[in-house]
Structure 1
Amino acid sequence: MLCDGSALNSSEYPELFSALGYLYGGSGDTFNLPDLQGQFLRGVGTTSGSVEERTKAPNGDSNGVGSTQKDALQTHQHTYNEPTGATPGDKGPAFAAVINSYTGIPTSESNPSSINVSQYETRPSNTFIYYLIKYTYKLPSYKQE
């Protein structure tokens, strides 16, 4: 099923309801699928990856399935070598000439208040999930011809 936040009837999908419950919304006979559209998925775990800066899942758990993180840019810096004869500093025509001629990137600073800075990592907006593998102890029966 597409994880688009759709509402389903618990009596039509009892096994799925047993696994999800009302974690992603719903009540009574209706429960919701997770809405993972536009999200990068990240496996739940405590041994690798960032567990900081999470937003709580709909069930209130901030360290489990359904918790999210906003995108972030890890604190960092860039250095450059000033051309011979240039006045020291990071602004002005000499700096702009170096940046534009070598990279083609305009010399403007981003608005720091619009960037979520993280001391832990650079990441896209993401949702934590469990990666699962389906197994069965009963093999399907096949007709032999």
Structure 2
Amino acid sequence: MSKLEELISLQQQSVENAAKIEAKRNRLAALQSRSDEVEAQLNSSKKETQNYTSRCATEAKKLVEDVEIETHNVDIVEREVADVLETSKLKLQEAIKQNEEEIQICAWELYALVDSVSKYKEHMASKISEMKSNLSETAGAVSDSYKGSLSAQFGITLDTSH
């Protein structure tokens, strides 16, 4: 902003100098020198401003290019992430399906095992019952035989009915 104020001031001086030139021709050489100096500074300022503007434009263009590149990279990453997500979902669904199938198979195997154990238990209970019955009959027969042997040996008649 100070350059603008300086420029305005210089323009005012130029107007004053023009009036003074009309009034004072003897100071023309000194004022012309000052005017040339100010003009050189102004040209230098213009050139600096143009260079600065050019650098800013170049930097802005580079920033825009960088943003476009990053946007492109983000798009690529988003697509890759979407692909990985889709693949992961499919793999998860397949794993769930396989697990459910394995669970179903294990459930059937467990059911068959429980059924087999139950049948074996029934079979063993039947065998144990049969063995108890046979044992009871054998014990009864041994008892009767022993009683018969005692009666024959001692001439005692024992009641063998239970």
TM-score over 0.5 for the pair: no
TM-score normalised per structure 1: 0.18
TM-score normalised per structure 2: 0.17
Which of the two has greater helix per residue? 2
Which of the two has greater strand per residue? 1
Relative contact order higher in (CA < 8 Å, ≥ 6 apart): 1
| Higher alpha-carbon Rg | 2
